[in-house]
Chain A
Amino acid sequence: MLRIENLSAWYGEAQVLRDADLHVDPGEVVTLVGRNGAGKSTLLRCVMGLHPGWRGTIKLGGTALGNLSADRRARLGLGWVPDDRGSYATLTVTENLTLPPTVGPDPWSLERVYEAFPALHQRRKSAATTLSGGEQQMLALARVLRMGARMLLCDEPTEGLAPLLVQQVGDLLREAKRHGVTVLLVEQNLRFATSVADRHYLLAEGRVTAAMENSEVRSRERELLSYLGI
């Protein structure tokens, strides 16, 4: 579904990604772990077409994205859940959900979103930035599901969430997976990662240095956690 080859990225002179390679097969949930500042968010921004200084190949469903603009990429089925949750202060909750066009064959309806998240329904006329952090995270995830995006790029969706909400995010991702949605998930919470994902990549110094199965992550948990500095 998504294939990244030799991806390098820069901020000005500073190189952040160095020939990173990874792939996510259709229907898979794959996490990308790495220390703070490893370049995880930058990698997602490159896939989304938002990062100007990059080189390499990014393919979605077999076609190279090249210099396609971010909005064209989104309409090819990429759904970005940014690390800051991407809530609009000047849009209501409903508007935040209905702003993007539907891009996939199986978009969630607004009713379905509100059924799954009664809290969002209750606050549907409020500015999205007045929601709690957890609610904003659900809103960001619900938004890309309502788009019908086939390939989600989720940037640390559980960061700062209470355990109950982390579980909800997990349920949501598992449900999306059941419907054939593919997910690339940036995640620092290894327990959570192994509970939703099929495979894991480790990003270090701008390179993908390890590809791991769930069992390997579980057995190396201590080592990985200390490496990640958590």
Chain B
Amino acid sequence: MTAFLQSTFNGLVSGAFYALLALGLAVIFGMLRVVNFAHGAFYMLGAFGAYVLLAEAGVPFWLALVVVPLALALLGMALERAFIHRLTRLDPLYNFLLTFGLTLILQDLVKLRYGVQSSPYEAPAGLRGSVDLGLFDFPTYRVFILGFAVAVCVGVWWALARTRVGMVARAATERPELTRALGINVGRWITPVFGFGTALAGLAGVLAAPMRAVNPLMGADLIIVVFAVVVIGGLGSIFGSVAAGFGIGMAQAWAEAYLSAFPIVAQTIVFIVMAAVLFWRPAGLFGRAEAPA
């Protein structure tokens, strides 16, 4: 039982990263219809941002947790203004290629400066060690990540469900053309929404810094899984992305714990689930078939 709870908890923690990244992708896809391949690179920049700020300016983790996502929001908005919005009228493939190219450029720029080996980043003093969760001890930092990620997801959900901005975002996501015809300047929200999505990626990156190896390729592998998570949850579905993120995190952890003789299962389970979901529900678990404009 303890082992089960422990692997579940570990699964929820890696699921928290999937959920945060999938949430940003879903928000961006919903409003811009852009599959942002560079999302993994923004996550990596978030982790590097925290590392560089600490190593070169002594900026502590807590401050980085605020500053880095803001910086990534600005970077994201600048890239959206400079490149992405020029391509949104064209085939989505163009933006896929563009953001893929951006990924390679960002990765190589970081590689050029910091090399490929991992840079160490220590958890802040207050979050070291472990806490007693009754049945077992758990690393404090992981407990913090889980709580923080859940709070962010709930906050985003609340903003979408209960605020006027959220209502406009839902309307523009579901039926962009009708929403414009009802007097709402949808275009005005596009750049901030993209910035918000990249900020979420940066936030996940900062959270990852003390726990995962900080290196230029850290986003590259992760983002493939996150894409699968987004597809499972339903492209553009906020709730679906978050639920699928946590779900896949747990599924991977259980496969690791109970099918350890077949490590291939844990590595591929996300894609197996994705194939099954697509077969059964092509729009994803919580996705809806594309509505008319």
Interface positions of A (Cβ within 8 A of B): 48-50, 69-71, 73-75, 80, 82, 84, 86, 88-91, 95, 99-101, 103, 143, 147
Contact = CB atoms under 8 A, between A and B. Distances in A.
A88 B177 contact: no
A99 B181 contact: no
Contact of B184 (A71, A80, A84, A86): A71
Give the interface residue-count category, chain B. Answer: 20 to 34
A100 B180 contact: no
Contacts of A89: 174, 288, 291
A96 B59 CA distance: 46
Given A90-B171, A91-B171, A99-B171, A71 B180 contact: yes
Interface string B156-200: 000000000001101101110111111111110000000000000
B181 A95 contact: no
Nearest to A78: B181
Contact of B181 (A74, A88, A90): A74
9 nearest CB pairs, A to B? A74-B183, A100-B182, A70-B180, A90-B170, A70-B181, A71-B180, A71-B185, A80-B181, A100-B183
B134 interface: no
Contact of A91 (B170, B185, B186): B170
Given A71-B184, A71-B185, A71-B186, 11 more contacts: A50-B180, A70-B177, A71-B180, A74-B181, A74-B182, A75-B183, A90-B170, A90-B171, A100-B182, A100-B184, A147-B182
B178 A69 contact: no
A143 B288 CA distance: 24
A99 B167 contact: yes
B254 to A, nearest CB: 32
A101 B183 CA distance: 6
Most central of A71, A80, A95 by chain B CB within 10 Å: A71
Contacts of A84: 292
A124 to B, nearest CB: 14
Given A84-B292, A90-B171, A91-B171, A143 B182 contact: yes
27 contacts: A48-B181, A50-B180, A69-B180, A69-B187, A70-B177, A71-B181, A71-B182, A71-B186, A73-B181, A74-B180, A74-B183, A74-B184, A75-B183, A82-B181, A86-B178, A88-B174, A88-B175, A89-B174, A89-B288, A89-B291, A91-B174, A95-B167, A99-B182, A99-B184, A103-B183, A143-B182, A147-B183
Contacts of A88: 170-171, 174-175, 178
A208 B292 CA distance: 28
Say whether chain B's binding surface is mostly helix, strand, loop, or mixed.
helix
Contacts of A49: 181
B181 A50 contact: yes
Nearest to A129: B291
Interface of B: 167-168, 170-171, 173-175, 177-187, 288, 291-292
Given A88-B174, A90-B173, A91-B170, A99 B292 contact: no
A75 B187 CA distance: 15
Contacts of B288: 89
B182 A80 contact: yes
Nearest to A94: B167
A69 B173 CA distance: 18
A111 B205 CA distance: 47
Contacts of A143: 182
Contacts of A82: 178, 181
A143 B167 CA distance: 15
B283 to A, nearest CB: 13
Contacts of A103: 183
Contacts of B182: 71, 74, 80, 99-100, 143, 147
A62 B278 CA distance: 53
Most central of A82, A90, A143 by chain B CB within 10 Å: A90
A47 B174 CA distance: 22
Contacts of B292: 84
Contacts of B180: 50, 69-71, 74
A82 B179 CA distance: 12
B42 to A, nearest CB: 26
B170 A101 contact: no
Contacts of A86: 175, 178
A143 B181 CA distance: 12
Nearest to B237: A90
Contacts of A75: 183
Contacts of B181: 48-50, 70-71, 73-74, 80, 82
Contacts of B186: 71
